[in-house]
Amino acid sequence: MQSLEYYEQKIISDSEFPVQMFVNDVGKKVWYFNQHWHEHIELHYVLEGRTTLRLGQREIPAREGNLVVVNSNELHAGYCDGTHMRVLVIIFDMGDFYKELADKNVIFQSLVERDETIDAIMSAIQKEYSEQRIGYRLICKGELLHLIVHLAREYAAEVLTERESDSRKRRLERLNTVLDYIQSNYTKQISNRELADIIHLSEDRFNHLFKESMGMPPLQYMNEVRMKKAMNLLKRKEGTVVEIADSVGFTDYNHFGRQFRRYYGCAPSEILKK
């Protein structure tokens, strides 16, 4: 069973325009979408400002005019550093546009910087999408086809075999089981050995798989989960700092305070005072 928190099932029912398109407009310091994955390809074109995309274990900074490609079955999340940013997001299934390319399992280069052809295509798509005049879907679809061909010709990084593609997906599905377990048990003290046993791997193999997929060791990830839960509780003022630290799995209050400051740049007590 796939994780409801990390696996995102995309259902795009419009057969004539099988695309999800929107603009992320953010002006505060925040992860504006959390880590997840899906079979669809996701394009992020920076219209204004800058953003950082986390793809697996890599953090990719992008600024105005840059395109970030999230390939199929790739964990990703988006961060805004507080500078106002606008990012055009386009999500689609390659099979709906170019079946031959989809069958080849092409992996595109993650970051494309300053490509005049892409700039022109994205400008046309953004204009049509914002104005939504009659026939805009057809024009956007045509421009997207142009973009796909351009990416295939100029920015194909590798071609996966069917076995490699299936392995990539299965790896994420196995990891989902671990992530679900952490979400349900983050208040407890969980060992790497315990997590490895869930998906029947050696501890060393599990640690390698986790860090390769999530970009951090399991303990760091668990602490991030606890920090986010603690922040939500502090914002809702659901107890003292000590009580909240205990409720998210920290037995050492001073350690909790240090971790919280490292993660959010302020003390937990400052959140309660706001």
**Could you tell me if 201 and 25 are in contact, meaning their C-beta atoms sit under 8 angstroms apart?**
no
Helices (H) and strands (E) in the chain, counts: 10, 11
160, HSE (Cβ side, Cα atoms, 13 Å): 17
Query: pLDDT per residue over 77-90, tens digit each?
Result: 999 999 999 999 99
| Cα dihedral: 165, 171, 172, 174 (round 10) | 140
222: tokens are 């668990």
**DSSP assignments along 51-68, one per residue:** EEEEETTEEEEEETTEEE
| The CATH number of the domain covering residues in 186-273 | 1.10.10.60
What average pLDDT score do residues 172-177 get? 80
Please report, for the chain, the start and end positions of each structural domain, with discontinuous segments joined by +. Answer: 19-159, 186-273
What local confidence, expressed as pLDDT, does residue 8 receive?
A: 79
pLDDT (0 to 100) of residue 3:
38
Rounded to two decimals, the pTM is 0.70
CATH topology for 19-159 is Jelly Rolls (2.60.120)
Average pLDDT over residues 234-261: 89
Q: Where are the beta strands (DSSP E) in 41-148?
A: 41-48, 50-55, 58-63, 66-70, 76-81, 85-92, 106-108, 111-113
Q: What is the mean pLDDT of residues 168-185?
A: 82
